[in-house]
Structure 1
Amino acid sequence: MTETDDLIEGQILLLTAAKASVPPERLPDLVDRAQTLLAPRRERYRREFERAYTDADREMFLVNWGHWDDLGEELELTERETAAVRRAHEEQVRRIGRRQDREGEFETAFEIREPVLIGR
Protein backbone atom coordinates (compact mmCIF):
# COMPACT_ATOMS: atom_id res chain seq x y z
CA MET A 1 0.00 0.00 0.00
CA THR A 2 1.34 3.43 -0.92
CA GLU A 3 0.78 6.78 0.71
CA THR A 4 -1.52 7.61 -2.19
CA ASP A 5 -3.99 4.88 -1.25
CA ASP A 6 -5.11 6.78 1.86
CA LEU A 7 -4.65 10.27 0.49
CA ILE A 8 -6.42 10.12 -2.88
CA GLU A 9 -8.90 7.42 -3.85
CA GLY A 10 -8.12 5.15 -6.78
CA GLN A 11 -11.16 6.23 -8.78
CA ILE A 12 -10.06 9.85 -8.45
CA LEU A 13 -6.58 8.94 -9.72
CA LEU A 14 -8.00 7.13 -12.76
CA LEU A 15 -10.31 10.00 -13.71
CA THR A 16 -7.61 12.58 -13.13
CA ALA A 17 -5.05 10.70 -15.20
CA ALA A 18 -7.48 10.49 -18.11
CA LYS A 19 -8.27 14.21 -17.98
CA ALA A 20 -4.65 15.25 -17.55
CA SER A 21 -3.20 13.01 -20.27
CA VAL A 22 -0.88 11.32 -17.80
CA PRO A 23 -0.62 7.51 -17.85
CA PRO A 24 -2.78 6.07 -15.05
CA GLU A 25 0.12 3.98 -13.77
CA ARG A 26 2.29 7.12 -13.47
CA LEU A 27 -0.02 9.35 -11.42
CA PRO A 28 0.22 7.43 -8.10
CA ASP A 29 4.01 7.79 -8.25
CA LEU A 30 3.72 11.52 -8.92
CA VAL A 31 1.32 11.95 -6.00
CA ASP A 32 3.66 9.93 -3.76
CA ARG A 33 6.61 12.11 -4.79
CA ALA A 34 4.62 15.21 -3.87
CA GLN A 35 3.76 13.67 -0.49
CA THR A 36 7.42 12.91 0.16
CA LEU A 37 8.09 16.61 -0.29
CA LEU A 38 5.00 17.83 1.61
CA ALA A 39 4.92 15.54 4.66
CA PRO A 40 7.98 17.06 6.39
CA ARG A 41 6.44 20.51 5.82
CA ARG A 42 3.16 19.74 7.60
CA GLU A 43 3.91 21.98 10.59
CA ARG A 44 4.88 24.86 8.32
CA TYR A 45 1.62 24.46 6.40
CA ARG A 46 -0.30 24.48 9.69
CA ARG A 47 1.33 27.80 10.61
CA GLU A 48 1.14 29.52 7.23
CA PHE A 49 -2.10 28.34 5.60
CA GLU A 50 -5.71 27.74 6.46
CA ARG A 51 -6.41 24.13 7.33
CA ALA A 52 -9.90 23.72 5.90
CA TYR A 53 -10.39 20.01 6.54
CA THR A 54 -8.83 17.13 8.42
CA ASP A 55 -9.66 13.46 8.92
CA ALA A 56 -7.81 10.29 9.90
CA ASP A 57 -6.00 10.09 6.55
CA ARG A 58 -5.26 13.65 5.49
CA GLU A 59 -5.22 17.38 6.15
CA MET A 60 -6.33 19.88 3.52
CA PHE A 61 -4.76 23.31 3.33
CA LEU A 62 -5.81 26.22 1.14
CA VAL A 63 -2.76 27.84 -0.44
CA ASN A 64 -2.19 30.74 -2.81
CA TRP A 65 -2.63 30.23 -6.55
CA GLY A 66 0.63 29.22 -8.14
CA HIS A 67 1.71 27.14 -5.16
CA TRP A 68 1.43 23.92 -7.16
CA ASP A 69 3.52 25.46 -9.94
CA ASP A 70 6.27 26.09 -7.38
CA LEU A 71 5.95 22.55 -6.00
CA GLY A 72 6.07 21.12 -9.52
CA GLU A 73 9.28 23.00 -10.25
CA GLU A 74 10.80 21.82 -6.99
CA LEU A 75 9.85 18.22 -7.87
CA GLU A 76 11.11 18.71 -11.44
CA LEU A 77 7.71 17.76 -12.90
CA THR A 78 6.53 18.75 -16.33
CA GLU A 79 3.62 21.18 -16.58
CA ARG A 80 1.32 18.27 -17.47
CA GLU A 81 2.50 16.24 -14.47
CA THR A 82 2.10 19.21 -12.13
CA ALA A 83 -1.41 19.82 -13.46
CA ALA A 84 -2.29 16.16 -12.91
CA VAL A 85 -1.13 16.17 -9.28
CA ARG A 86 -2.92 19.47 -8.62
CA ARG A 87 -6.11 18.12 -10.21
CA ALA A 88 -5.92 14.90 -8.16
CA HIS A 89 -5.83 16.98 -4.99
CA GLU A 90 -8.69 19.20 -6.20
CA GLU A 91 -10.89 16.25 -7.21
CA GLN A 92 -10.32 14.47 -3.90
CA VAL A 93 -11.30 17.65 -2.05
CA ARG A 94 -14.42 17.96 -4.20
CA ARG A 95 -15.37 14.40 -3.29
CA ILE A 96 -14.79 15.16 0.40
CA GLY A 97 -16.91 18.29 -0.02
CA ARG A 98 -19.81 16.29 -1.45
CA ARG A 99 -19.61 13.75 1.36
CA GLN A 100 -19.39 16.41 4.06
CA ASP A 101 -22.03 18.70 2.52
CA ARG A 102 -19.33 21.38 2.08
CA GLU A 103 -19.06 21.33 -1.70
CA GLY A 104 -20.15 24.95 -2.12
CA GLU A 105 -17.74 26.11 0.55
CA PHE A 106 -14.79 24.37 -1.10
CA GLU A 107 -15.76 25.53 -4.60
CA THR A 108 -15.88 29.12 -3.35
CA ALA A 109 -12.45 28.71 -1.76
CA PHE A 110 -11.08 27.40 -5.08
CA GLU A 111 -11.92 30.72 -6.71
CA ILE A 112 -9.01 32.34 -4.90
CA ARG A 113 -6.90 29.46 -3.57
CA GLU A 114 -5.91 25.91 -4.41
CA PRO A 115 -5.88 22.86 -2.12
CA VAL A 116 -2.94 20.85 -0.91
CA LEU A 117 -3.60 17.54 0.82
CA ILE A 118 -0.99 16.16 3.18
CA GLY A 119 -1.38 12.58 4.33
CA ARG A 120 -1.16 11.63 7.97
Structure 2
Amino acid sequence: MHVDTDADDLTPENGYVEVAVEVFRLLADATRIRIVLALRAGELPVNAIAETVGRSPAAVSQHLAKLRWGKLVRIRQDGNRVFYRLTDEHAMRLVIEALRQAEHAVDERPGHHA
Protein backbone atom coordinates (compact mmCIF):
# COMPACT_ATOMS: atom_id res chain seq x y z
CA MET A 1 0.00 0.00 0.00
CA HIS A 2 1.49 3.35 -1.03
CA VAL A 3 0.49 6.48 0.82
CA ASP A 4 1.07 9.76 -0.98
CA THR A 5 3.13 11.72 1.55
CA ASP A 6 6.69 12.81 2.17
CA ALA A 7 8.40 10.09 4.26
CA ASP A 8 10.28 12.81 6.18
CA ASP A 9 7.01 14.54 7.12
CA LEU A 10 6.89 13.63 10.81
CA THR A 11 3.86 15.73 11.63
CA PRO A 12 0.47 14.64 13.00
CA GLU A 13 -0.89 14.91 9.44
CA ASN A 14 1.52 12.27 8.10
CA GLY A 15 -0.36 9.90 5.80
CA TYR A 16 1.39 6.84 7.23
CA VAL A 17 -0.07 7.17 10.74
CA GLU A 18 -2.85 4.63 10.15
CA VAL A 19 -0.42 2.17 8.56
CA ALA A 20 1.92 2.63 11.54
CA VAL A 21 -0.98 1.70 13.83
CA GLU A 22 -1.34 -1.58 11.90
CA VAL A 23 2.38 -2.26 12.35
CA PHE A 24 2.01 -1.72 16.11
CA ARG A 25 -1.01 -4.06 16.12
CA LEU A 26 1.06 -6.74 14.42
CA LEU A 27 3.79 -6.33 17.01
CA ALA A 28 1.36 -6.22 19.95
CA ASP A 29 1.88 -9.90 20.68
CA ALA A 30 4.59 -11.44 22.87
CA THR A 31 5.20 -14.35 20.50
CA ARG A 32 5.66 -12.03 17.53
CA ILE A 33 8.09 -9.85 19.50
CA ARG A 34 10.03 -13.00 20.40
CA ILE A 35 10.02 -14.07 16.73
CA VAL A 36 11.47 -10.71 15.68
CA LEU A 37 14.14 -11.07 18.38
CA ALA A 38 14.91 -14.62 17.22
CA LEU A 39 15.39 -13.36 13.66
CA ARG A 40 17.78 -10.66 14.80
CA ALA A 41 20.78 -12.89 14.06
CA GLY A 42 19.56 -13.88 10.59
CA GLU A 43 17.24 -16.22 8.78
CA LEU A 44 15.86 -19.33 10.44
CA PRO A 45 13.47 -22.18 9.60
CA VAL A 46 10.15 -22.44 11.46
CA ASN A 47 11.32 -25.29 13.74
CA ALA A 48 14.33 -23.28 14.95
CA ILE A 49 12.16 -20.22 15.57
CA ALA A 50 9.61 -22.37 17.42
CA GLU A 51 12.31 -23.86 19.64
CA THR A 52 13.78 -20.42 20.36
CA VAL A 53 10.45 -18.81 21.30
CA GLY A 54 9.04 -21.85 23.11
CA ARG A 55 5.96 -22.33 20.95
CA SER A 56 4.80 -25.07 18.60
CA PRO A 57 5.83 -24.87 14.94
CA ALA A 58 2.14 -24.61 13.99
CA ALA A 59 1.60 -21.61 16.27
CA VAL A 60 4.80 -19.96 15.04
CA SER A 61 3.73 -20.52 11.43
CA GLN A 62 0.49 -18.65 12.09
CA HIS A 63 2.37 -15.73 13.62
CA LEU A 64 4.87 -15.71 10.76
CA ALA A 65 1.99 -15.58 8.26
CA LYS A 66 0.73 -12.41 9.94
CA LEU A 67 4.22 -10.90 9.99
CA ARG A 68 4.58 -11.75 6.28
CA TRP A 69 1.21 -10.14 5.57
CA GLY A 70 2.49 -6.98 7.25
CA LYS A 71 5.73 -7.22 5.25
CA LEU A 72 7.84 -7.46 8.41
CA VAL A 73 9.36 -10.82 7.41
CA ARG A 74 10.24 -12.48 4.12
CA ILE A 75 10.83 -16.06 3.11
CA ARG A 76 13.45 -17.92 1.16
CA GLN A 77 12.76 -21.44 -0.02
CA ASP A 78 15.49 -24.04 -0.28
CA GLY A 79 13.89 -27.19 -1.65
CA ASN A 80 11.02 -27.93 0.69
CA ARG A 81 12.50 -25.91 3.56
CA VAL A 82 11.38 -22.35 4.19
CA PHE A 83 13.61 -19.82 5.90
CA TYR A 84 12.34 -16.59 7.43
CA ARG A 85 14.18 -13.31 7.83
CA LEU A 86 13.31 -9.75 8.75
CA THR A 87 12.45 -7.62 5.73
CA ASP A 88 14.60 -4.75 6.99
CA GLU A 89 16.00 -3.29 10.21
CA HIS A 90 12.92 -1.25 11.12
CA ALA A 91 10.92 -4.00 12.89
CA MET A 92 13.98 -4.86 14.96
CA ARG A 93 14.49 -1.21 15.90
CA LEU A 94 10.81 -0.90 16.92
CA VAL A 95 11.10 -3.98 19.14
CA ILE A 96 14.36 -2.77 20.71
CA GLU A 97 12.87 0.64 21.47
CA ALA A 98 9.71 -0.96 22.90
CA LEU A 99 11.82 -3.14 25.18
CA ARG A 100 13.87 -0.14 26.28
CA GLN A 101 10.64 1.76 27.02
CA ALA A 102 9.38 -1.26 28.98
CA GLU A 103 12.55 -1.12 31.09
CA HIS A 104 11.75 2.52 31.90
CA ALA A 105 8.20 1.55 32.87
CA VAL A 106 9.42 -1.12 35.29
CA ASP A 107 12.82 -0.03 36.60
CA GLU A 108 13.74 3.29 38.15
CA ARG A 109 17.20 2.98 36.59
CA PRO A 110 16.92 0.84 33.44
CA GLY A 111 19.78 -1.51 32.67
CA HIS A 112 20.45 0.11 29.30
CA HIS A 113 21.40 3.33 31.14
CA ALA A 114 23.99 1.57 33.33
TM-score (norm. length: structure 2): 0.28
Q: Which has the higher helix share?
A: 1
TM-score (norm. length: structure 1): 0.27
By relative contact order (CA 8 Å, sep 6+), the higher-ranking structure is 1
Rg bigger for which structure? 2
